[in-house]
Amino acid sequence: MMRVDLIIRDNMKFNIQDRIVLDEMVDTFTAEMNKTHDDAELMDKRPIITREYWMQMIKEVQRKIDDFTTKKALSHSKRYR
C-alpha cells in the first residue's frame, strides 16, 4: 500500500485557502483517473492500477488531509465541495 506522509511542523494545520487548493487537486486527480479508466474500458484495455485501488488511495489521502485541517477549514470544505 502506498504511504502518504505530510510534513507538518509545530502543529501547523491547513487553513481554508490551503484546503481549497488541496480539494481542487484531489478532485482534479479523481476526475482524470475516472476519465482514463473510462477511456480504457472503451478501448477494451485494462489499466495496470485498478479504479478501486485508486479510490482507496484517494480516500486515504483525503483522510490524512482532513486530519491536518483546521476545524473551520474542514467545515468550509464539506459545505462548499
In whole angstroms, give the CA distance from residue 38 to residue 60: 22
In whole angstroms, give the CA distance from residue 37 to residue 31: 10
In the chain, which stretches have pLDDT less than 50? 1-2, 6, 8
Domain boundaries, the chain: 16-80
Report the pLDDT value the prediction gives residue 11, as an integer from 0 to 100: 65
Helices (H) and strands (E) in the chain, counts: 3, 0
Global pTM exceeds 0.85: no
Report the pLDDT value the prediction gives residue 67, as an integer from 0 to 100: 93
Report the pLDDT value the prediction gives residue 29, as an integer from 0 to 100: 98
For residue 19, count CB atoms less than 10 angstroms from its CB and return exposed for 0-12, middle for 13-18, buried for 19 or more: buried
Q: Which three cell numbers stand for residue 3?
A: 504511504
